[in-house]
């Protein structure tokens, strides 16, 4: 399954993951559905068809992934479970006392390299990893996923300058541009305006893609991997994607579903309750 380019299969995995996300958050009685649903298609595309996660001679995975927007933990856990890193039965322990599936990812989880949750820190780490790969003449890639609200953090821009300085074209930045953050729309809260022009100015090869279209995403990743400059894929997404009453709703950034909402959501995904 690892290298499948079969869009239907990716769509199937993505729908399965959405069901897991909803179930996890419902069982946990808290969590972040909106941003998990906006980025799950990106994760499915990465893990099922883009990244090479086989182990190299030093037992390290060739390609690396960092979830900088750590609150999308349910999405991360769902994909790690599909890839065999997290036993499926553990998913429902999300956020529970004594579970290793913390509210935000920690590197105690097999397959997670670094803990995240406090925003803005992932790009710097990805740069360091990409630099280490260059030093070791290792041809793998480092992928890092950040939110569009997250780039309000100053450290992200410190990191962008480092990416550019060392021309880390083996570091692929993905921005989950779902346009919403806790206090409202990204435009209202900070008005970061034109992301692509800013990133262009910072030395990135900017690629726009529909973050829910596997064909579009696959082409974007292919282009990013071939670039001699560091690439940034701006993935245009919908917060809460896949659940009608959650889509584009700020209120679904960080809350769980009641019984009725859970039933409705699962029905929309064609899943058993």
- At closest approach, how far in Å is the CB of 38 from another protein? 23
Cα distances (Å, whole numbers) of residue 226 to 25, 50, 231, 264: 38, 13, 9, 43
Half-sphere exposure of 47 (CA within 13 A, CB side): 25
Tell whether residue 129 is a contact of another protein (CB under 8 A): yes
Half-sphere exposure of 273 (CA within 13 A, CB side): 11
What is the pattern of x (binds another protein, CB under 8 A) and - over residues 105-124?
Answer: -xx-----xxx-xx-xxxxx
Part of the chain binding another protein (CB under 8 A), chosen from 16-24, 85-93, 126-134, 208-216: 126-134
Q: How far apart are CA 26 and CA 20, in angstroms?
A: 10
- At closest approach, how far in Å is the CB of 35 from another protein? 19
Cβ proximity to another protein, 131 vs 189, nearer residue:
131
DSSP result, 22-77: HHHHHHHT---HHHHHHHHHHHHHIIIII----B-TTS-BSSEEEESSGGGHHHHH
Which of 24, 43, 126, 151 binds another protein (CB under 8 A)? It is: 126
Which of 54, 55, 57, 58 binds another protein (CB under 8 A)? It is: 58
Helix or strand holding residue 236 (H, E): strand 231-236
Tell whether residue 99 is a contact of another protein (CB under 8 A): no
Structure-token pair, residue 26? 């419902």
Count the residues of the shown chain that bind another protein, applying the rule CB under 8 A: 34
Q: Which residues pair with 233 in a beta bridge?
A: 174, 207
DSSP result, 157-220: HHHHHHHHHTT-TTEEEEEEE--EETTEEHHHHT----HHHHHHHTT-EEEEEETT-HHHHHHH
CA angle 210–219–119, rounded 5-degree value: 55
Cβ proximity to another protein, 31 vs 122, nearer residue:
122
Part of the chain binding another protein (CB under 8 A), chosen from 45-53, 158-166, 203-211, 238-246: 158-166
Part of the chain binding another protein (CB under 8 A), chosen from 15-23, 157-165, 196-204, 243-251: 157-165
Structure letter (DSSP) for residue 101: S
What is the pattern of x (binds another protein, CB under 8 A) and - over residues 12-51?
Answer: ----------------------------------------
Tell whether residue 150 is a contact of another protein (CB under 8 A): no
Tell whether residue 192 is a contact of another protein (CB under 8 A): no
Tell whether residue 130 is a contact of another protein (CB under 8 A): yes
Do residues 229 and 169 make contact, with C-beta atoms less than 8 angstroms apart? yes
Structure-token pair, residue 137? 């003449």
Q: Among residue numbers 79 through 98, which ones bind another protein (CB under 8 A)?
A: none
Tell whether residue 271 is a contact of another protein (CB under 8 A): no
- At closest approach, how far in Å is the CB of 13 from another protein? 27
Tell whether residue 101 is a contact of another protein (CB under 8 A): no
Residues in contact with another protein by the rule CB under 8 A: 58, 60, 106-107, 113-115, 117-118, 120-133, 135-136, 142, 154-155, 158-159, 161-162, 165-166
């Amino acid at each position: 399954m690892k290298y499948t380019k079969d869009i239907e299969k990716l769509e199937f995995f993505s729908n399965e993951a959405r069901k897991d996300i909803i179930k996890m958050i419902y069982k946990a009685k808290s969590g972040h559905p909106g941003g998990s649903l906006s980025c799950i298609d990106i994760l499915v595309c990465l893990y099922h068809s883009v990244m090479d996660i086989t182990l190299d001679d030093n037992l390290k995975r060739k390609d690396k992934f960092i979830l900088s927007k750590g609150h999308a933990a349910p999405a991360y856990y769902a994909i790690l479970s599909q890839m065999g890193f997290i036993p499926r039965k553990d998913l429902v322990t999300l956020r529970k006392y004594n579970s290793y599936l913390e509210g935000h990812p920690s590197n105690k989880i097999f397959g997670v390299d670094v803990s995240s949750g406090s925003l803005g820190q992932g790009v710097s780490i990805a740069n360091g990893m990409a630099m280490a790969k260059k030093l070791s003449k290792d041809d793998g890639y480092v992928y890092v996923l950040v939110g569009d609200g997250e780039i309000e953090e100053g450290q992200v821009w410190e990191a962008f300058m480092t990416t550019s300085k060392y021309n880390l074209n083996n570091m692929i930045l993905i921005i989950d541009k779902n346009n919403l953050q806790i206090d409202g729309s990204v435009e209202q809260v900070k008005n970061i305006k034109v992301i692509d022009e800013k990133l262009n100015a910072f030395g990135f090869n900017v690629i726009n893609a529909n973050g829910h279209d596997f064909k579009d995403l696959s082409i974007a990743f292919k282009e990013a991997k071939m670039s001699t400059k560091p690439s940034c894929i701006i993935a245009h997404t919908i917060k809460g994607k896949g659940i009608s009453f959650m889509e584009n709703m700020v209120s679904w950034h960080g809350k769980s579903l009641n019984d009725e909402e859970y039933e409705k959501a699962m029905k929309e995904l064609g899943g058993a309750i």
